[in-house]
Amino acid sequence: MCGIAGFLAAPGAWGPEEPIVTAMMAAIAHRGPDSRGQWCDTAAGVALGHLRLAILDLSPAGHQPMISASGRHVLIFNGEIYNHLHLRAELDAAGRAPAWRGSSDTETLLAGIDAWGLEATLERCVGMFAVALWDRQDRRLSLARDRLGEKPLYYGWQGQGARAAFLFGSELKALCRHPAFAGEIARGSVVEVLRHGHVGEDRSIWRGIGKVRPGEIVTVSAEERNPQRHRYWDGAAVAATPKPPRLSDREAVDRLEALLLDAVGQQMMSDVPLGAFLSGGVDSSTVVALMQHLSDRPVHSFSIGFHEARYNEAEYARAVAAHLGTHHTELYVSDRDLRDVIPRLPRLYDEPFADSSQIPTFLVAELARAHVTVALSGDGGDELFCGYDRYRQAARLRAALARVPLPLRQAGATAIRSLPAGALTRVLSPLFPTPQGKEPIGQRLHRLVHYARQPDLEALHRTMVSVWRFPEAAVPGATQPPGLLADTLPPRGTLGDVERMMQLDMLAYMVDDILTKVDRATMAVALESRAPLLDHRVVEFAWGLPEDMKLRDGVSKWVLRQVLYRHVPRELIERPKMGFEVPIGLWLRGGLKDWTAALLDPARLAREGLFDPAVIDRLWQQHLSGRFNWGQQLWCVLMVQAWLEETRR
């Protein structure tokens, strides 16, 4: 695991390349504390920088940037190729292997590129990665990202005319260090942060800077400045592909277990200490159980606990760890511990990011890093095996409303929404008291009737995953950019309603929220996180299973649970899903009240010009009254404001 950064510009346009790429690397030094290297070709105007977190082949033979045996290609690479020994064997058998200098997967990747080309090599790879490859012969720069988007890679042209520069890096803060960087905020991306809590797809918070998408190769040269984008793997198409003949239940469970054992076994490959995150839920328990099955010593597992019972899963993780015999480490954190992380968030997530579970995610990463350098996780299980409650909620809601004509539904919803939410709460709260930290009944009713107004499944799904339902109202003069959840919907094929929502979440929420959150939290402490459930062979197999092997008789993740129950007793797992939740709404009225008030001060908002002060202040005052819980909505605004404050220091 590492950090990469670099640029391509006209020779001499910005003076010597080395000091510039050195500054870019310094901005992301946390991603690679073990060594750093750079390679510059002044005649071509290209500079590549690499920061190394050494995991495989700790010797200098794994140092990057690395030049291929042919001398044609120069590579910087962030990630792991889990099947690289198999690729070496294939190259050896074909007589196309170089004289190996070391045992790193970087050298294997370069040898494959020399032999087969970049795309054919990536198609052979099982792994997570972000790659920058300079072709010295064709003077062409290629950027590529793994199939599911575990590793990040930003890029874009900045500057004008002869001084234009194509910048790239693992994190935005690296690009910000180049003198060509303009630093103009993309207001449409601010709208997107309010709606979804993050900037999605191929965009960033900065105008002109985007992201390589999962499974994509982006190619550029001094002569062809318009980046050429090409997919070597398409998750949308994988999900929508007609399913193969149905397996029996036993065959499906056997094959999934075999695939997972292989994926977990490959991802346990490491020359440094390795462990796993364990929440006690289905996904992480499955990964840890299979790790322990494959290991001849106790696996080191990690969890954090909360003193508030409704947020605490630590006792369940402890029970699973005891059954499996892992070496288990847990840390109980207080509200103060959680809140103390907040000032660090703008630096960790160097564009606005507002999934509040980013806070405990960072704390468990910090806990693990004190003991290991690599940690496996259960990320991906919800999107692949139907884990989110909203899938079942949406299916039930659509079934209940199916017999009611849309115009009648919309009229009824309009009538209910015409009643103020606060008034509804006052009338109904004696019958429907508000659980601590949750929405009052009037607010919940307004949200539910808004769901009922949606004309189709895709619109319902988009509404359910939206934090702000009408974010444009808060960002004057801006609109949300077109996206795959509304404007460029991917092919659905024969997917049913539940699997359609899973497909959309795999392409959007998982990549731009879950995996972004985990990458920044872990890399901030130089910890490599690996996700065996996102091995693309597991992903493709999961999409080939019928929907009822994922959601059966109201039970989510049915087939994955059957694998887990071969290793862990059912009674240790069966309980309601909790998630990594923190009480943001309560904090904003309590310990974070002064901080929030300062960031949301109407005069400040008016001066900065991003938000409509009246809209934001109305939500803030309603939240303070206790009649509404706008915690998540305000958190999105606060993360923009805190980020803006950090960028102006």
Residue positions forming the annotated binding site for L-glutamine = 105
Catalytic residue among 2, 40, 125, 176: 2
Q: Please tell me the distance from the alpha carbon of residue 278 to that of residue 260, in angstroms, as a whole number.
A: 17
From the number of C-beta atoms within 10 Å of its C-beta (0-12, 13-18, 19+), residue 477 rates as exposed
Q: Please tell me the distance from the alpha carbon of residue 629 to that of residue 368, in angstroms, as a whole number.
A: 33
In the numeric block, which tokens belong to residue 186? 């993309």
End-to-end CA distance of the chain: 29
Helix and strand totals (H; E) in the chain? 29, 19
Q: Which of 325, 318, 256 is nearest to 291 (CA)?
A: 325
Could you give phi then psi for residue 593, rounded to 5 degrees? Answer: -60, -45
Q: Please tell me the distance from the alpha carbon of residue 215 to that of residue 92, in angstroms, as a whole number.
A: 27
CB 288 within 8 A of CB 326: yes
Residue 2: active-site member: yes
Could you give phi then psi for residue 513, rounded to 5 degrees? Answer: -115, -70
| Residues annotated within a binding site for ATP | 304, 377-378
Tell me the β-bridge partners of 39: 48
Q: Please tell me the distance from the alpha carbon of residue 647 to that of residue 352, in angstroms, as a whole number.
A: 11
3-class SS letters over 86-98: HHHHHHHHCCCCC
The DSSP call for residue 151 is S
CB 305 within 8 A of CB 313: yes
Identity of the residue numbered 507: L
In the numeric block, which tokens belong to residue 479? 């609109």
Q: Please tell me the distance from the alpha carbon of residue 297 to that of residue 275, in angstroms, as a whole number.
A: 11
Cis amide leading into 433 (omega within 30): no
CB 98 within 8 A of CB 115: no
The catalytic site residues sit at 2
